[in-house]
Structure 1
């Protein structure tokens, strides 16, 4: 009886602690292990940026990556990634890749979580978790784009194993729990009109802030300028703004996310890796 070949798996961890020192946010603690690195590009002015790097060159089934970000009181930080993350094909017997990030945003602090796109390949297997714990007057801005197959390369995702979860806790209140669970024939599911009408690029944007609802009108005005490549909508309640969009191409969704973020970031510009 043959046994499956055991493949080498990547394991990594990262941690970043920033705090306010005078008028500037500075690094107070840094951890990087295994396949994970954190780069801090030099920026003369503005909010500091942390660039997460996976030196293994992509995510395969069985990989494990864990991270922790802490923004101390009054600090501001933007977190992004060096490149679009790729989630590769898995064998049926492989355990899913596990990717977990936990962020704490203390009183008066702000965290912008703005990774580049995640590209899911056919038969990939992934479990992701993003957990945000924030003070009542803190600000969290998050943007995630999922690409199911690269249309420019005639790739489709026929089957997938995906559990993608977000949990946001503000003060003592569990404010938001969101799960995307897809197991099985994804392409057939996305073709349904009630799901995505064949669109394979998904954008989700969250703003959690005391004034989040005041941003709904300018965001809806921006969404009203979209062409037929994108379907999008926004809603706001209880100190939270959520935007969802479906697109036929990653380029159209990228243009939309940049437009929305330029509004919500009040002209602070794209993260450094978004401009290359």
Structure 2
């Protein structure tokens, strides 16, 4: 199959088929049979689907602006401004009105070169919110252009955000940068994690080409509580180095900053790892702000998510005084 792009006109050549798509009209010529639905070849259906879901040539410049407010012990999504391909589902309350659950979707199916996505999320005083994603994120191979995503979060006094997205899969050849900055007011709490798979390892793919950068910063009253910058230029050397991936495809971090963690919580988080036959390496430490930092390097998304979920639920019970729960989209 050959793809030719010319402005808004796209031409796909499929053996003896020609498909043209303009901004307003789709015209299909198919020989020798007419385009009756039962007779449409699967390859032609795939081509049509590709054309109908393809993004602008310059990449998506999507955005998401959300504000959560608390009134009478109920947290509401009071402002939502979205621009494709980002979208937020209608809020739901599986654990009562005090905690608002939201699911963010990427309707285009993944990030490609030239995409620039931004999210701005604000929790007003005493708001409680849990945000996850509908599916694993995907960052596709690039021909040289950068794809980036910027997330800015502001959490006011007494508010708590649980930021628990599903994993991000960085395809071999991707050039991707993700920036996350959290501003915490005194008395605010943040729990967040990031799980990144470099290369589609299930099909034997390694991250041998491309570039991945991740910048995470957490601030309070102009002071940095945690600065975490990661950079991985693809290649055999860094993938196999003990200072890099050590031959593993997944790196992950969990961060809690809010009420101080005790030595007992740190030890229990370590035990949640050591008591299981998980694959990979893990570490647990206390941050300078008396928060909690968990690290993972390994090969199993299920293992790291199970461990992180266990630590998260430990923090929920011990510090947030909330019951154990998992987002329904994970089921």
Match of 1:193 among 229, 242, 245: 242
The whole-number CA distance in structure 2 between the counterparts of 1:242 and 1:68 is: 24
CA 1:213/1:166 → structure 2, altered by over 3 Å: closer, same or farther?
farther
When the two chains are superposed, the root-mean-square deviation of aligned CA atoms in Å is: 1.9
Higher alpha-carbon Rg: 2
1:57 and 2:144 equivalent? no
Q: Specify the SS of the correspondent of 1:10.
A: coil
Match of 1:203 among 252, 260, 263: 252
The whole-number CA distance in structure 2 between the counterparts of 1:202 and 1:146 is: 6
CA drift of 1:221 comes to 1.7
The whole-number CA distance in structure 1 between the counterparts of 2:202 and 2:246 is: 18
CA 1:44/1:161 → structure 2, altered by over 3 Å: closer, same or farther?
closer
Structure 2 unaligned regions, length at least 5: 8-56, 318-322
Match of 1:264 among 315, 324, 328: 315
CA 1:132/1:213 → structure 2, altered by over 3 Å: closer, same or farther?
farther
The whole-number CA distance in structure 1 between the counterparts of 2:294 and 2:92 is: 31
TM-score (norm 2): 0.77
> For residue 137 of structure 1, what is the aligned residue in structure 2?
187
Q: Structure 1 or 2: larger strand share? A: 1
> For this pair of structures, how many residues does the alignment match?
269
CA 1:224/1:61 → structure 2, altered by over 3 Å: closer, same or farther?
same
CA drift of 1:222 comes to 1.1
Judge conservation of contact 2:113–2:175 (CA < 8 Å) in 1: yes
The whole-number CA distance in structure 1 between the counterparts of 2:172 and 2:126 is: 43
Match of 1:114 among 164, 189, 212: 164
> For residue 151 of structure 1, what is the aligned residue in structure 2?
201
> For residue 27 of structure 2, what is the aligned residue in structure 1?
none
Match of 2:134 among 82, 86, 92: 82
CA drift of 1:228 comes to 5.5
Judge conservation of contact 2:207–2:239 (CA < 8 Å) in 1: no
The whole-number CA distance in structure 2 between the counterparts of 1:68 and 1:213 is: 32
CA drift of 1:181 comes to 1.1
Match of 1:181 among 223, 231, 237: 231
Judge conservation of contact 1:206–1:242 (CA < 8 Å) in 2: yes
Matches within 5 A, 1:1-276: 7-46=57-96, 47-92=99-144, 94=145, 96-185=146-235, 187-213=236-262, 215-227=265-277, 229-237=279-287, 238-266=289-317, 267-275=323-331
The whole-number CA distance in structure 2 between the counterparts of 1:195 and 1:156 is: 13
TM-score (norm 1): 0.91
Runs of 4+ in structure 1 off by over 6 angstroms are none
CA drift of 1:159 comes to 1.7
Q: Specify the SS of the correspondent of 1:194.
A: coil
